[in-house]
């Protein structure tokens, strides 16, 4: 009991140390696993479009998957934008405080709760046939289909943060505009948007960060081909879907290349999320 | 000048349905339309899961292990429901989520308390940033890490332990942040009252802070659980899957999402996909519902 | 209340049996009737929670913004039913100034003055714009202080200057009535004095309704006063008469500081 307080504080400190060890251990392990691939390909790994596991001619490059990841996530954000924006205005402003707003809010929360693999299944059995029916391509797989399912998956993240930002706009500013005879549309575009702009922007950055790392649903819909997609309805692979797809049969240089891609994915999502957190702290 | 303003006033006074009014209505209409589009997937997905999955949900679905693809094929050809169930997945999910919670709850709560107590220190801010970074790491990367650490070094093969370690790293940041947020909402005076009575530090934490914030802590833990319960990608790289019920933490183990992935890849098992997904969804939504109920009770 | 009824001819606003309820049945204002005289300052006083702000906000239908607030009764603006006008039109004719100065932080000082036009999508010629900005700022005695920084954001202004900017914003539309909801409660005494002097000048052109928790302010600048208590209009009359010889016991107790 003499030093009870010190012991407690030490335990708390040690616990906090564990997360630092886990995080730095992760980075070290990823870097270590990358070494064989790095020794073989160097920085060309990032710019090479080859993914050839044939023994003797093994050659791996990450560019198609970097492109696939960015393209699907950008498609997702473009589709997500009008939907999440409207929904956040619905919840945070137009029907704020009404039952219908909390109902829509609950539905959006439920969207966030759906596991990735269930989105993938639904995309495979429902969304993909629609894409085929509309004649975009024969199989329905591709970066657009993957981007579409990603959009549905990240809408809840963009929406919930946007709602907070919209609600943060001071009520007396909105009232001042209404007292001058402004309509709701005027208030949205002249008062809410200018004042919540950076927050709403940040919500899309964070949603983008989410989209980058999504695995299962994308794996099931993107078509899994190791080439740079040339059009919206081309098949491709993202960094995450490649790892999920190829990990089972990987060892040696191929495994190392997958780890290198994981490291890249870790760095890219880290940068995007870091940017988002930085922006949010400024608000 | 005055006359021009009066003019504007007079003209728009008589036109209640002037262009601005109509534009505003159109704007509101678009917002409502887009909001409905946003929530339509949840309705479509749940109705699909129920309509396709309900017929496979029976007693054997919960008490038997997965059939092999041949059994399923025969049943399909005869037009019967597929025999067997997903017991191996249910037990695997419970086992791995339980193990992950066992690791994540104490460590997460302790780190959360550390951050709450030392929030302004530079080191604590670094811990906070690392927590945020960890929360953003794609789950498949966490699976890869657990593969290197646990599969390769500890269990020398795919195992439930490796799966739960990946889930543990996923849960950790969620529990840390929710613990910190919960404690921040407890009035400082409660803590000070404890100090004023000469209560030792660890007792303040365990007898005052944790009980006062218990509902918040539980909510955070439940939400973290519901986030990892549907995770598939990290388990593919760590727990692998198993056709039989396995409770040995050093052996490969199945989980509900892993089974869904297997069924997805096996055309004979299609019917089981929907029932398993329905069960998984109900688990996730059920846990979310319980935590929402705890939150609303606390706010009363 | 006879003397007030006689003056209905000069009334800019007639408030008839107005009640306001938050969350069904929870009345904040009950059955208030009054005629507001043109080109005068009418003060609404009363202890906090008496419903004075709620009554004020019923006049330009600010309560319409909140689904859980119900307004009953009738308000006539120049004899026309306010409930039948579009809220946009009504609010252009009735300007409002809020408790805390709230210039739009994303707009320059000049844009703040003509915010009503901008928000209503009315395009002005450059000359009209300049004229309105200058006149409105001169009306609130702010022109000299800000004429060289019109294109800067208004955030560097003092609280009192910001509040005068907000009054200018309300004046720019040349409304008939200006509602002020405790406009000086967040200001220092010197700024308060300037605003009060300004209001006395403004009543030449506008009808002013001022909610205040500060009875000496009501005594200093208002022509007519209402005293509200627990949602009810207890007494309404010429300010001087009410302060010298209150008719109701509750008014007397309030004015003599028995409760606040």
* C neighbours by CB contacts (3+ pairs under 8 Å): A, B
For chain B positions 19-58, those within 8 Å of chain C (CB to CB) are 20-21
Q: What is the pLDDT along chain C (260 residues), one digit of tens a residue?
A: 444 544 556 789 999 999 999 887 889 999 999 999 999 999 999 988 899 999 999 999 999 888 788 999 999 999 899 998 888 888 889 999 999 888 888 889 999 999 888 887 788 899 999 999 999 999 898 999 998 999 998 778 999 999 999 999 999 988 999 999 999 988 889 889 989 999 999 999 999 999 998 888 999 999 999 999 999 999 999 999 999 999 999 999 998 887 65
- Cα–Cα distances in Å, from A128 out to B34, B44, C8? 22, 14, 71
Residue of B nearest to A277 (CA): B132
Q: Is C116 helix (H, G, I), strand (E, B) or coil?
A: helix
- Fold annotation for B87-299: MetI-like fold (1.10.3720)
Q: Answer whether B4 sits within 8 Å of C121, measured CB to CB.
A: no
Task: Let me know: does A119 contact A214? Beta carbons within 8 Å.
Answer: no
| Burial class of residue B80 in the structure, from the number of CB atoms within 10 Å of its CB (0-12 exposed, 13-18 middle, 19+ buried) | exposed
Asked if the C-beta of C89 comes within 8 angstroms of chain B's C-beta atoms, the answer is yes
- Residues from chain C that touch A180, judged by Cβ atoms under 8 A, are 91-92, 95, 115-116, 119-120, 169-170, 173
Asked if the C-beta of B4 comes within 8 angstroms of chain C's C-beta atoms, the answer is yes
Distance between CA atoms of C190 and B153, rounded to whole angstroms? 76
Go through chain B and tell me how many residues it has.
300
In a domain? residue C260: no
Q: What is the pLDDT of residues B136-154, one digit of tens each?
A: 999 999 999 999 999 999 9
In a domain? residue C93: yes
- Residues from chain B that touch C128, judged by Cβ atoms under 8 A, are 1, 4
CA distance B223 to chain A (A): 9
Distance between CA atoms of B238 and B155, rounded to whole angstroms? 10
- What the block records as the tokens of B190 is 């409660």
- Cα–Cα distances in Å, from C115 out to A123, B2, B23? 47, 17, 19
Asked if the C-beta of A191 comes within 8 angstroms of chain C's C-beta atoms, the answer is yes
- Residues from chain C that touch A190, judged by Cβ atoms under 8 A, are 104, 115, 118-119
Distance between CA atoms of C127 and C133, rounded to whole angstroms? 10
Asked if the C-beta of A183 comes within 8 angstroms of chain B's C-beta atoms, the answer is yes
- Judged against a pLDDT cut of 50, whether residue A42 lies above it is answered with yes
Distance between CA atoms of C140 and C168, rounded to whole angstroms? 6
In a domain? residue C144: yes
Count of the separate structural domains present in chain C: 1
The ipTM of this complex is 0.94
Q: Are strands C41-45 and C224-229 parallel, antiparallel or unpaired?
A: parallel
pTM of the entire structure?
A: 0.86
Backbone phi and psi for residue C238, each to the nearest 5 degrees, phi listed first:
-60, 135
Residue of B nearest to C127 (CA): B1
Instruction: Return the DSSP state at C258.
Output: S
What pLDDT does B10 receive?
Answer: 45
Task: Let me know: does C159 contact C185? Beta carbons within 8 Å.
Answer: no
- Judged against a pLDDT cut of 80, whether residue A51 lies above it is answered with yes
Q: Answer whether C93 sits within 8 Å of B5, measured CB to CB.
A: no
What pLDDT does C260 receive?
Answer: 56
- What the block records as the tokens of A248 is 């089972």
| Burial class of residue C134 in the structure, from the number of CB atoms within 10 Å of its CB (0-12 exposed, 13-18 middle, 19+ buried) | middle
Which of C183, C99, C200 has the alpha carbon at shortest distance from C141? Answer: C200
Distance between CA atoms of A16 and B134, rounded to whole angstroms? 13
Distance between CA atoms of B224 and B288, rounded to whole angstroms? 10
Give the 3-state secondary structure percentages of chain A, helix then strand then coil, rounded to 5.
80, 0, 20
In a domain? residue C60: yes
Q: What is the pLDDT of residues B183-239, one digit of tens each?
A: 999 888 888 887 777 778 888 888 888 988 999 999 999 999 999 999 999 999 999
Q: Answer whether A83 sits within 8 Å of B176, measured CB to CB.
A: no
Asked if the C-beta of B2 comes within 8 angstroms of chain C's C-beta atoms, the answer is yes
Structural domains of chain A in order of their starting residue, each with its CATH number: 59-282 (1.10.3720.10)
Domain CATH for C75: 3.40.50.300
Q: Which domain holds residue C176?
A: 2-255
CA distance C85 to chain B (A): 8
The residue with tokens 């019917």 is B271
- Judged against a pLDDT cut of 80, whether residue B75 lies above it is answered with yes
What pLDDT does C259 receive?
Answer: 67
- The residue extents of the domains of chain B are 15-55, 87-299
Distance between CA atoms of A155 and A162, rounded to whole angstroms? 10
Q: What is the pLDDT of residues C2-37, one digit of tens each?
A: 445 445 567 899 999 999 998 878 899 999 999 999
Distance between CA atoms of C150 and C147, rounded to whole angstroms? 6
Task: Let me know: does C98 contact A172? Beta carbons within 8 Å.
Answer: yes
- Smallest Cβ–Cβ distance between B1 and the set C89, C93, C131 belongs to C131
Q: Answer whether C89 sits within 8 Å of B2, measured CB to CB.
A: no
Q: What is the separation of C-alpha C128 from the centre of its chain, rounded to a whole number of angstroms?
A: 26
Q: What is the DSSP string of B199-265?
A: --HHHIIIIIIHHHTHHHHHHHHHHHHHHHHT--HHHHTTT---SS----TTS----HHHHHHHHHT
* A neighbours by CB contacts (3+ pairs under 8 Å): B, C
């Amino acid at each position: 009991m003499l030093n009870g307080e010190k012991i407690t504080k030490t335990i708390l400190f040690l616990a906090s140390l564990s997360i630092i060890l886990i995080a730095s251990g992760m980075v070290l392990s990823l870097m270590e696993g990358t070494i064989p691939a790095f020794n073989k390909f160097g920085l060309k790994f990032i710019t090479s479009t080859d993914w050839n596991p044939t023994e003797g001619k093994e050659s791996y490059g990450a560019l198609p998957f970097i492109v696939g990841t960015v393209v699907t996530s950008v498609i997702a954000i473009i589709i997500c934008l009008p939907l999440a924006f409207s929904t956040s205005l619905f919840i945070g402003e137009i029907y704020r405080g009404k039952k219908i707003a909390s109902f829509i809010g609950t539905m959006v929360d439920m969207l966030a709760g759906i596991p990735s693999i269930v989105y993938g299944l639904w995309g495979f059995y429902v969304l993909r046939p629609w894409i085929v029916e509309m004649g975009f391509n024969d199989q329905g797989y591709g970066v657009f289909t993957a981007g579409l399912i990603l959009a549905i998956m990240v809408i809840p993240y963009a929406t919930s943060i946007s709602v907070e930002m919209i609600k943060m706009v001071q009520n007396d500013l909105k009232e001042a505009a209404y007292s001058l005879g402004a309509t709701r549309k005027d208030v949205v575009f002249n008062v809410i948007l200018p004042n919540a702009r950076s927050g709403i922007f940040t919500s899309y950055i964070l949603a983008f960060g989410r989209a980058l790392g999504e695995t299962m649903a994308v794996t099931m819909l993107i078509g899994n081909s190791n080439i740079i997609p040339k059009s919206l309805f081309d098949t491709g692979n993202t960094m995450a879907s490649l790892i999920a797809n190829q990990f089972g049969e990987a060892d040696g240089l191929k495994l190392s290349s997958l780890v290198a891609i994981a490291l890249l994915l870790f760095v890219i999502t880290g940068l995007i999320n870091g940017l988002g957190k930085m922006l949010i702290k400024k608000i | 000048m005055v006359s021009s303003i009066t003019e504007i006033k007079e003209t728009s006074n008589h036109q209640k349905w002037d262009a601005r009014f109509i534009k505003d209505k159109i704007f509101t209409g678009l917002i409502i339309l887009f909001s409905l589009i946003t929530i339509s997937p949840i309705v479509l997905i749940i109705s699909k899961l129920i309509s396709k999955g309900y017929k496979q949900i029976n007693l054997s679905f919960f008490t038997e292990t997965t059939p092999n693809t041949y059994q399923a094929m025969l049943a399909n050809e005869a037009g019967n429901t597929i025999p067997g169930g997903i017991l191996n997945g249910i037990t695997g999910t419970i086992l791995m989520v339980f193990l992950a919670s066992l690791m994540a709850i104490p460590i997460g709560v302790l780190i959360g308390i550390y951050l709450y107590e030392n929030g302004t220190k530079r080191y604590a801010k670094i811990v906070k940033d690392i927590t945020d970074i960890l929360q953003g790491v794609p789950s498949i990367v966490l699976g890869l890490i657990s593969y290197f650490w646990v599969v390769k070094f500890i269990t020398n093969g795919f195992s439930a332990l490796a799966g739960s370690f990946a889930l543990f790293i996923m849960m950790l940041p969620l529990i840390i942040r929710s613990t910190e947020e919960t404690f921040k909402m407890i009035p400082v005076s409660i803590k000070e009252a404890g100090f004023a009575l000469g209560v030792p530090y660890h007792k303040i934490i365990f007898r005052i802070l944790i009980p006062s914030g218990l509902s918040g802590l539980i909510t955070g833990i439940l939400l973290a659980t519901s986030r990892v319960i549907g995770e598939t990608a990290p388990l593919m790289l760590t727990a692998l899957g198993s056709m039989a019920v396995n409770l040995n933490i050093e052996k490969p183990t199945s989980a509900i999402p892993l089974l869904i992935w297997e069924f997805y890849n096996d055309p004979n098992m299609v019917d089981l996909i929907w029932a398993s997904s329905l069960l998984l969804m109900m688990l996730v939504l059920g846990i979310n519902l319980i935590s929402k109920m705890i939150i609303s009770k606390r706010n009363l | 209340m006879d003397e007030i009824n006689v003056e209905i001819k000069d009334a800019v606003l007639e408030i008839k049996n107005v009640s306001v309820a938050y969350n069904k049945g929870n009345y904040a204002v009950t059955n208030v009737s009054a005629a507001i005289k043109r080109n005068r300052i009418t003060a609404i006083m009363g202890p906090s929670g008496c419903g004075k702000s709620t009554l004020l906000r019923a006049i330009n239908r600010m309560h319409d913004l909140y689904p859980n607030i119900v307004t009953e009764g009738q308000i006539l603006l120049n004899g026309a039913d306010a409930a039948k006008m579009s809220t946009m039109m009504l609010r252009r004719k009735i300007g409002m100034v809020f408790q805390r100065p709230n210039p739009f932080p994303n707009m320059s000082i000049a844009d703040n003055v003509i915010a009503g036009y901008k928000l209503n999508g009315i395009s002005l010629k450059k000359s009209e714009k300049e004229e309105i900005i200058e006149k409105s700022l001169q009306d609130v005695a702010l022109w000299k202080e800000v004429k060289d920084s019109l294109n800067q954001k208004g955030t560097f202004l003092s609280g009192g200057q910001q509040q005068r900017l907000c009054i200018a914003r309300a004046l720019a539309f040349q409304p008939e009535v200006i509602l002020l909801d405790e406009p000086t409660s967040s200001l220092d005494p010197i700024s308060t004095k300037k605003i009060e002097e300004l209001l006395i000048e403004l009543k030449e052109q506008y009808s002013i309704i001022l909610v205040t928790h500060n009875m000496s302010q009501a005594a200093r600048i208002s022509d007519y006063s209402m005293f509200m208590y627990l949602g009810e209009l207890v007494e309404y009359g010429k300010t001087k008469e009410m302060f010298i010889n209150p008719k109701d016991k509750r008014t007397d107790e309030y004015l003599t500081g028995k409760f606040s």
